[in-house]
């Protein structure tokens, strides 16, 4: 895996939000954003800190009602501990709704509880990844995640 190489711009749809990051910890968010920016994805991601707001964005409702929901992101990174509606509930609603059930959702959580893991899979999560404690490790995990879901994983044409 070649780290530190920016994602070739032509591999992405122009002006398209590719990554939705739902994470309430500013420290973790900052770290994720740093990685995302380094990979040349400025403008391709959206950071949301609250479960309810995440649902609003994905369903283009309330504050996001004008956002054209033709923007199907390539992946949603979802923390479990969120203010407002919690991560598992967000996951449940996203995977139940026709409009969003095919969105790749990756839980990125510090929880290693088998309960959480099983529930996430029961709800249809695509992948469950635990957040390492060290920031360098978290950095490389995020990078690997972004590369996998943006470059390797294929989605149907929008």
Is there binding between residue 154 and another protein (CB under 8 A)? yes
Rounded CA separation 141/157 (Å): 27
Is there binding between residue 47 and another protein (CB under 8 A)? no
Q: Phi then psi for 78, rounded to 5 degrees?
A: -125, 120
The residues near 96 (Cβ < 8 Å, ≥ 6 apart) are none
Stretch that binds another protein, among 25-33, 48-56, 81-89, 149-157 (CB under 8 A): 149-157
Residues in the chain: 158
Which one among 8, 133, 134, 136 touches another protein, defined by CB under 8 A? 8
CA atoms within 13 A on the CB side of 36: 22
Rounded CA separation 138/13 (Å): 27
Q: How far is the CB of 125 from another protein (least distance, A)?
A: 8
* Count of residues that bind another protein according to CB under 8 A: 39
Stretch that binds another protein, among 5-13, 20-28, 30-38, 78-86 (CB under 8 A): 5-13
Which one among 11, 133, 134, 136 touches another protein, defined by CB under 8 A? 11
| Residue for token pair 């590719």 | 18
Q: Is 151 left (phi over 0), alpha (psi -120 to 50) or beta?
A: alpha
Q: How far is the CB of 123 from another protein (least distance, A)?
A: 10
Point out which residues bind another protein (CB under 8 A). 1, 8-11, 14-15, 17, 64, 66-68, 71, 102, 104, 112, 114, 117-118, 120-122, 124, 126-130, 141, 144-145, 147-148, 152-157
């Amino acid at each position: 895996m070649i780290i530190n190489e920016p994602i070739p711009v032509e591999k992405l749809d122009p002006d398209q939000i590719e990554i939705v990051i739902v994470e309430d910890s500013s420290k973790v968010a900052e770290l994720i954003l740093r990685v995302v920016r380094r990979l040349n994805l400025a403008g391709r991601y959206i950071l949301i800190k609250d479960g309810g707001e995440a649902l609003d964005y994905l369903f283009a409702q309330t504050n996001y009602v004008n956002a054209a929901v033709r923007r199907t992101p390539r992946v949603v990174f979802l923390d479990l501990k969120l203010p407002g509606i919690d991560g598992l509930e967000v996951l449940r609603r996203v995977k139940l709704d026709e409009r969003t059930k095919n969105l790749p959702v990756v839980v990125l959580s510090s929880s290693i509880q088998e309960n959480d893991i099983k529930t996430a899979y029961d709800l249809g999560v695509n992948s469950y990844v635990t957040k390492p404690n060290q920031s360098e490790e978290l950095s490389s995990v995020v990078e690997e995640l972004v590369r996998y879901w943006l470059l390797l994983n294929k989605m149907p044409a929008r």
